[in-house]
Amino acid sequence: MSKQKSEWFDWIKALLIAFALAFIVRTFFFAPIVVDGPSMMPTLHDGDQMIVNKFLYDITEPERFDIVVFHASDQKDFIKRIIGLPGEHVAVDDDVLYINGEEVKEPFLASQKKKRMSTNPLTSDFKLEDLPGEYEKIPENHVLVLGDNRNNSTDSRMLGLVSMDQIVGKTGLIYWPFDRVQTIGE
C-alpha cells in the first residue's frame, strides 16, 4: 500500500474510533439537555444547557434534592428535583415540607419563600394520598419530584410518582450560557 493510501486509512480509522467513542459516551454515560420552560426557576433558567449523568443511578441510589431528567412521555423529558424517596410519606402544609411527619428544610427555596407573602404560598398544600395513585407511602423504585417554581410546574402533583425506569439521569452542571456556568447543589 502506498504511503498516501496508508495515511488516508489511518485518518479514516481514527475518525471512526472517535465517532464510536462519542456514541458510546453519549448513549451510556453523559448527554446534553436544554432546560425548556420556567418550572425550575430560579435554580435553572429556560435555555440553560446542562450535562446529564446517565449511569450514576446504576451504581448509587437517588438522594433527596437531586435534580433529575426523566421521561414524562414518549416525546418529552422533564427536569425536576427529587423530594420524596421510596418508603416515605410526603406532605406540604402551610408552605412547609414534611417527610414522614418531620419538617424538612428546602434551602434552595429560601430566597423565594422570603419574597412571598404569607397569604400567597410558594407550594400549595398537598399530601401523598392526594396525588395520582393515592399512595400512603412512596413505593420501591419510585420517587416524588417537584419543580422549584412550585406555582408553575408540571410535576408529581399532576403526573404522579416517577419510576426509576423513567429517570434518564442526574444533572447538576450548567455549561451554557457562559455567564451561568456552574454546578448546582442544594
DSSP assignment of 90-142 equals EEEETTEEEETTEEE--GGGHHHHHHS-TTS-SS--EEGGGSTT--SSPPTTE
The three cell numbers of residue 58 are 446504576
Residue from 2, 5, 13, 39 carrying the catalytic annotation: 39
170 is catalytic: no
50 close to 174: Cβ distance less than 8 angstroms: yes
Does residue 63 sit in helix, strand or coil? Answer: coil
C-alpha span between 184 and 171 (Å, rounded) = 8
> What dihedral angle (degrees, nearest 10) is formed by the CA atoms of 145, 149, 151, 154?
-40
Strands 77-84 and 142-146: antiparallel
6 is catalytic: no
Residue from 54, 80, 153, 170 carrying the catalytic annotation: 80
The three cell numbers of residue 52 are 446529564
- State CA 6 to chain mean position distance: 47
Residues serving a catalytic function are 39, 80
